[in-house]
Structures are given as structure tokens and as C-alpha cells.
Amino acid sequence: QGREAAVLFAKEGAKVVVTDVNEEGIKETVDIIKAAGGQAAGRRVDVSEGAQVQDGVAFAVRTFGTLHVLYNNAGVYLRGKDGPVTRVEDDIWDTTLTVNLKSMYLCCKHAIPEMVKAGGGAVVSTASAAGLIGSNFHAYSASKGGMIALSRSIATTYAAQNIRSNVICPGFIDTPMVAEISSSPRLLQAYLDSTPLHRAGKPLDIAYMALYLASDEAAFVTGGVFVVDGGVTAR
């Protein structure tokens, strides 16, 4: 869903820096944006490594002059390996918390000072509905719950410097992360049956929410938790 967000942001006039560990994916996204007349640049960044995050932020400022929006969208769910705390292995716990939560900390740590220099900005982070309810995949849920808490803390701490922070909590979104579920009629049906709107979410459903939260239209919106799950958590 990161690509859809990057393309949508650029379509609305944003100058976008695409970061990922997949260099081919970066190039494809940048090419799509440029082909549509947008402005974009790419940088390989492992967001679990502080030095690389610092380099990525510096690259963004060097390329486009200022930084106004940070979209924390890295994530991992190790299906089949994540589980209850009594069964999940230490390395699975560490990897999940590092990719999902530590990456947000590192990106905010290095991006927020640049936003302050620019006069303000918006942090948008993708957590999960799993961070709001109980689940059987404890590492993932803990990491996403941590993202929610960190986003709200950033919102209150940096409000005086005109920094807003909001978090999106998607439900079941049809992305490569859940390909194993989408390709199984039985598993997919189980998810659809638990969703009042009775469909999987689309990456654009999340991208449009991210766009709103990053925009000037959301100037009075901070510290929010926005659930985009087709009604799952309303039950």
C-alpha cells in the first residue's frame, strides 16, 4: 500500500521521496510518479538502522529543500511464526518489534527536527486494528499497539512546534503481506465473514486516509487513531 500512497501524494502535488529496502520497487514507484508528471526521488533505506534513516532524511532535505510529511508505513507480520507469548521465539519478537515499532521511533527521531525547521509538519503512521484488540499474534499486536501510543505521545509533545501526529489502524487489506490468506478461499472467507462490509480493504482505502491526515484539511487533527477496517472493531 506504500506505492499507492506515494503515487496519490504525488498526484496531489507532493514532492515524494520513496524509501524501501527493495531497490527495484523504489525505481518502479518513482518511475510511475514521474511518468504521471509528478516529482519523486528514491533512496534505499533500512528503517531499522538509525544511520540509514538519518541518511534518508538528509537525502530528502537535500533533494527537495524541506521536509513536511513523514509517512511511517514499514511493517512485517511473520505469519506462522508469530503467536502467543508462550510460543513465539525471541528472534521473531525482536524482528517484529524492530521493523514495526523501532522504525517509527528512528524515522520520527530524525525527521521531526527537519519539520520543526520547516515550520511544522505531519507524521502519519500505519499501525493496525490488531493494536486495538486482543489477538493470537502477540508480537505483531504489541508492535502496533506501541505505534499507537508513540503517535499519541508525539502529538502532545510536539504540538507546540506545529507538528501533528496521527495513526491509521487498517483491518484486512489486500496486499502482498496477506497473500497467503487471499489465495486461500477458506481463510479469505473467514476474514470476509468477520467484516461487516464483507470485503477486503484496498491499499487506496488506506492511502486516501493518509493523504487526508497529511493535508492542510486536517490542520486541527492530531493525536487521532483512525480505524479503517470495514467495521471489524465496531462489533
Q: For 105-143, what is each residue's pLDDT tens digit?
A: 999 999 999 999 999 999 999 999 999 998 999 999 999
Pairing of strands 39-44, 15-20: parallel
Mean pLDDT of 150-161: 99
pLDDT score, position 6: 98
> Percent of the chain scored above 70 by pLDDT?
97
Torsion angles phi and psi, residue 43, rounded to 5: -150, 130
Longest CA–CA separation in the chain, Å = 52
pLDDT for residue 177: 66
Structurally, at CATH architecture level, domain 67-234 sits in 3-Layer(aba) Sandwich (3.40)
Question: Which pLDDT score, from 0 to 100, does residue 183 have?
Answer: 73
Q: pLDDT band at 193, cuts 50/70/90?
A: confident
Sheet holding 225-228, edge to edge: 69-72, 121-126, 163-170, 225-228
Catalytic positions, written as ranges? 140
Secondary structure E strands in the chain: 15-20, 39-44, 69-72, 121-126, 163-170, 225-228
pLDDT at 179: 66
| Dihedral, 62, 27, 17, 216 alpha carbons, nearest 10 | 150
Domain boundaries, the chain: 67-234
CA distance 194 to 181: 14
- Kindly report the average pLDDT of the chain as a whole number: 95
200 alpha carbon, distance to own chain's centre: 18
Q: Kindly state the helix (H) or strand (E) to which residue 180 belongs, with its residue range.
A: helix 179-182
pLDDT of residue 169: 98
Interatomic CA distance for residues 30 and 35, integer angstroms: 9
- Whether residue 157 is predicted with pLDDT greater than 90 in this model: the reply is yes
Concatenating the DSSP letter of every residue in 99-114 gives IIIIHHHHHHHHHHHH
Query: Pick from 41, 75, 72: which is nearest to 58 by CA?
Result: 41
Please compute the mean of the pLDDT values over residues 14-40 and round it to a whole number: 98
Instruction: Check pLDDT > 90 for residue 192.
Output: no
Residue 84 pLDDT greater than 70, yes or no: yes
Using CA atoms, how far residue 124 sits from 71, 110, 129, 143, 199, in Å, is 5, 15, 15, 16, 25
Q: Which of 67-71, 130-134, 180-184 has the highest mean pLDDT?
A: 67-71
Cα angle value 226/214/37 (rounded, 5°): 130
User: At 10, which helix (H) or strand (E)?
Assistant: helix 2-11
Question: Residue 30 belongs to what H/E stretch?
Answer: helix 23-35
